[in-house]
A and B are shown apart, each in its own frame.
Chain A
Amino acid sequence: MRSDPPTLAALFLQFAVLSLFAVGGGGSAVPEMHRQTVEIARSLTDRQFSELFAIAQAAPGPNIMFVALLGHFIAGVPGAAVATVAMCGPSCILACAVSQVVERFRKARWRIAIQAGLVPVTIGLIAASALIIARGADGDWASFAITATTFAVVYWTRLSPLVVFACAALAGLVGFV
């Protein structure tokens, strides 16, 4: 079942809500982006979602610009602009509006409790993002091998992930995956 392609207004609303629910950072919103665009709207496949995510990671600029790529895939150039403004606008307005107040209460118990309370939630969300991206990316032993190698390099060395990305793309080009 494929629902109608979302209008720009619907796209804006989806990402604007996500902007304010992305606790700990933009990466926390990846599972919900997947749920909305792949599972509910069926605008793209699991594999396409993971591929677009990877392109955004490999490109310069903030990683959250994945939303521009996603918006472009769903609704063209206006989609890219709308998704970007919606994902960044509300959180920026909130941050500018409350930064002075929140900074003043840096040592307050409520702020420390909120900060500590958000940490495990963020960990759970990033782990969920990892699961979703891996599910779309890893279909055979060769892609598992690349995922495992990248994990090892990023986790245990200080080598730039871009080197691994380049090697992985090269491996794909010569037919490894």
Chain B
Amino acid sequence: MSDSTPSAVPPAEPDAPSAVAASRPPVAALCLAFAAVSISSFGGVLAWARRMLVENKRWMTAQEFNDLLALCQFLPGPNIVNLCAVFGARMRGIPGALACLVGLLGPSVVLMIAAGAAYRRFGALPEMHGVLSGLAAAAAGAIIAAAVKMAEPLVRVRLGPEHAVALATFVAVGVLRLSLPLVLLVIVPASIGFAWRRADEK
């Protein structure tokens, strides 16, 4: 579930009239802007949200966006959803956060309900069987590619505790199918401990 497929985004339009956007947009504008992102963002929302916030509306600078994204990757949960909520809260408090979330998630929930209803109704038809098989096989390829891309930096560094952590997590969760919270309660503190000691060595 990589939210960072930049390839899916069309090239940026020529600059809109370059008035510095009014700071603190109204709640309705926040909601509508994220709804527009939600329905147009094929292939991962992140790049589209960045384009809306930084380039089109100029509600954030590129640096502010990067900092907020890093923060949301640091915290648990879906990154882009967290980013949208924190941005909304900074603009307009709790109503702002809710407006952004409704905009981002609302159209998508409706779409998913429609897709889910269609799936229940037609998913088992022979004509659909092939289409769904093809889609599922492609989704598998895409997520394998995302996993390999993420793992690349590990290939370049000397074998160390982080390799053991990645492998242990994969085996515990993917192969042994242990409970995620249990695995994380053991592995995350250990991994942070290794990283803490590594910071010592530097």
Contact = CB atoms under 8 A, between A and B. Distances in A.
Residue of A23, A121, A129, A148 with most chain B CB atoms under a 10 A cut-off: A121
Contacts of B116: 52, 68-69, 72-73, 80
Nearest to A155: B145
A56 B113 CA distance: 11
A56 B78 CA distance: 14
A163 B120 CA distance: 25
A134 interface: yes
Contact of A173 (B107, B130, B142, B195): B130
A133 B49 CA distance: 27
Contacts of B45: 61-63
A41 interface: no
A130 B77 contact: no
A146 B137 contact: yes
Interface string A18-46: 11111111110111100100010000000
A88 B81 contact: yes
Contact of B43 (A21, A72, A160, A175): A160
A28 to B, nearest CB: 8
Residue of B89, B137, B148 with most chain A CB atoms under a 10 A cut-off: B137
B105 interface: yes
B76 A23 contact: yes
Residue of B41, B129, B145 with most chain A CB atoms under a 10 A cut-off: B145
Range of interface residues on chain B?
Answer: 35 or more
Interface in B1-18: 1-3, 5-8
Interface string A39-81: 1000000011011111111111111111011001100010011
Contacts of B195: 112-117
B8 A160 contact: yes
Contacts of A106: 67
A72 B112 contact: yes
A128 B169 contact: yes
Given A51-B136, A168-B134, A69 B112 contact: yes
Contact of A32 (B71, B129, B167, B179): B179
Contacts of A18: 180
B138 A147 contact: yes
A148 B144 CA distance: 9
Nearest to B168: A124
Nearest to B178: A35
Given A26-B77, A113-B192, A137 B137 contact: yes
B127 to A, nearest CB: 7
Given A118-B191, A143-B137, 11 more contacts: A57-B142, A73-B116, A95-B71, A115-B74, A120-B191, A125-B169, A125-B170, A137-B136, A160-B43, A173-B127, A177-B134
8 contacts: A35-B177, A35-B179, A48-B123, A55-B119, A120-B163, A121-B166, A172-B131, A173-B127
